[in-house]
Amino acid sequence: MLKEKVISAEKIQKVIATLAEEINADLEGRDPVFVGILKGAVYFMTALTLHLNRSVVVDFIQASSYGATTESSGTVTLIKDVTVDIAGKDVYVIEDIVDTGLTLADVVALLRARHPRSVQVVTLLSKSSRRKIEIPLDFVGLEIEDRFVVGFGLDFAERFRNLRDIWEFVSDQEGA
**CB of 92 vs ligand 5GP, minimal distance in Å:** 16
**Which residue number, 31 or 155, has a Cβ lying nearer to ligand 5GP?**
155
Question: Binding of ligand 5GP at residue 72 (CB under 6 A)?
Answer: yes
**CB of 44 vs ligand 5GP, minimal distance in Å:** 11
**CB of 144 vs ligand 5GP, minimal distance in Å:** 8
Question: Binding of ligand 5GP at residue 154 (CB under 6 A)?
Answer: yes
Q: What is the DSSP letter of 130?
A: G
**CB of 33 vs ligand 5GP, minimal distance in Å:** 19
Q: Select from 126, 109, 121, 113 the least CA-distant residue to 63.
A: 109
Give residues with Cβ within 8 angstroms of 87, minimum separation 6. 114, 115, 116
**Which residue number, 32 or 36, has a Cβ lying nearer to ligand 5GP?**
36
User: Contacts with ligand 5GP: how many residues (CB under 6 A)?
Assistant: 19
Say how many Å lie between the first and final Cα of the chain, rounded: 9
Catalytic residue among 59, 81, 90, 99: 99
State the virtual CA torsion across 119, 120, 123, 129 in degrees, nearest 10: 100
Question: Binding of ligand 5GP at residue 124 (CB under 6 A)?
Answer: no
How far is 24 from 54, CA to CA, in rounded Å?
8
Burial of 68 (0-12, 13-18, 19+ CB in 10 A): exposed
Question: Binding of ligand 5GP at residue 137 (CB under 6 A)?
Answer: no
What string marks each residue from 76 to 105 as x (binds ligand 5GP by CB under 6 A) or -?
A: -------------------xxxxxxxxxx-
- Catalytic residue flag (residue 99): yes
Q: CB neighbours (10 Å) of residue 17?
A: 12
Burial of 19 (0-12, 13-18, 19+ CB in 10 A): buried
Residues that bind ligand 5GP (CB under 6 A): 40, 65, 72, 95-104, 148-150, 154-156
Report the catalytic residues: 99
